[in-house]
C-alpha cells in the first residue's frame, strides 16, 4: 500500500528537544522514514529550527511540523495566532504539518499548505478514552471536508472494548488514516494497527512523547517481523 507520503506504513520519529534536531540536520536517523518536529516541545525562540528542518528534508527525509496545543496534549500555551503563524512560517521548510481538526482555522491553513505543496495531517486526540465508532467516523469525515490528506486519530485505550474499536477502525476508511492507541493497553496497537492499514506509526528517538509510544527501532523490528516492512 502507498500513500502520498510514500511507503506504508511509515515510521515517524518524534523529535522533542533542540539537540537531536541539530544533530539530525547533519545526519538524519536511519531508524525512521519521517521526522516529526514537535515545536511546542522544542520551542521556537530563534529561527534556526526552520533551516534545520530544511536541511533534514533536503537530505531526503520528509519533515512533519507539529505545534501541538495544550487542549490536545501538547505544550503550546501561547496565543493561537502565534501558533498558527509558526505553521505558516515553517511551510517553505517542511514536507507536512500536523494540525488538530478542531482548530478553527484548520481549513485556511490547509489551503495555504496546499499552495506550498505541503501535506496536511488532521489530528484528533482523546486522552480520556476511546469514543464510539460513529463519533470517530464523523471526526474523520470532518477532517476530509476541511482538507486533511491524512486523518490521525489517537485515543486512550482503557479496556478491551477500546482496543477492539481502534483495531477495527482502519477498515472503516478508504483514504489514508493514522490510528493510534495510547496507554499501556494500547501499546500492542502500535504494531497491530500498521498491519491493519494505518499509514503512519509514531515512534520515539529518545524519550516517548505519548503514552505507550514504542521506539522507532522496536517498531521497525516488529513491523519487519510481521511482514509489513522490508
Spot the catalytic one: 2, 125, 174, 175.
Answer: 125
Catalytic residue flag (residue 224): no
DSSP labels, 66-126: E--BGGGT--B-S-HHHHHHHHHHHGGG-SEEEEETT-TTHHHHHHHHHHHT-EEEEEEEE
Catalytic residue flag (residue 174): no
156 sits in which H/E element: strand 150-156
Spot the catalytic one: 50, 59, 108, 152.
Answer: 152
Torsion of CA 200, 4, 108, 138, to 10 degrees: -60
Biggest CA–CA distance in the chain, Å, is 45
* Structure-block grid coordinates of residue 87: 505553521
Q: 3-class SS at 151?
A: strand
Dihedral class, residue 37 (left if φ above 0, else alpha if ψ from -120 to 50, else beta): beta
Q: 155, 225, 224, 223: which is closest to 185 by C-alpha?
A: 155
- Please list the active-site residues: 125, 152
Amino acid at each position: 500500500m502507498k500513500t502520498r507520503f510514500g511507503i506504508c506504513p511509515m515510521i515517524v520519529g518524534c523529535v522533542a528537544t533542540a539537540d537531536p534536531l541539530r544533530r539530525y540536520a547533519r545526519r538524519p536517523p536511519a531508524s525512521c522514514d519521517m521526522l516529526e518536529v514537535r515545536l511546542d516541545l522544542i520551542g521556537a525562540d530563534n529561527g534556526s529550527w526552520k533551516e534545520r528542518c530544511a536541511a533534514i528534508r533536503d537530505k531526503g527525509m520528509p519533515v512533519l511540523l507539529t505545534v501541538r496545543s495544550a487542549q490536545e496534549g501538547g505544550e503550546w500555551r501561547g496565543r493561537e495566532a502565534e501558533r498558527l503563524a509558526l505553521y505558516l512560517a515553517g511551510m517553505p521548510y517542511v514536507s507536512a504539518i500536523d494540525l488538530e481538526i478542531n482548530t478553527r482555522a484548520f481549513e485556511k491553513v490547509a489551503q495555504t499548505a496546499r499552495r506550498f505543496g505541503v501535506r496536511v495531517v488532521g489530528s484528533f486526540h482523546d486522552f480520556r478514552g476511546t469514543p464510539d465508532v460513529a463519533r470517530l467516523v464523523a471526526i474523520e469525515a470532518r477532517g476530509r471536508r476541511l482538507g486533511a490528506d491524512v486523518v490521525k486519530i489517537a485515543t486512550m485505550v482503557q479496556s478491551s472494548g477500546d482496543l477492539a474499536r481502534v483495531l477495527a477502525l482502519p477498515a472503516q476508511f478508504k483514504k489514508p488514516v493514522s490510528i493510534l492507541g495510547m496507554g499501556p493497553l494500547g501499546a500492542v496497537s502500535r504494531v497491530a494497527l500498521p498491519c491493519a492499514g494505518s499509514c503512519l506509526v509514531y515512534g520515539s528517538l529518545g524519550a516517548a512523547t505519548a503514552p505507550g509510544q514504542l521506539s522507532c527501532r522496536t517498531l521497525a523490528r516488529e513491523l519487519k517481523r510481521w511482514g509489513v516492512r522490508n
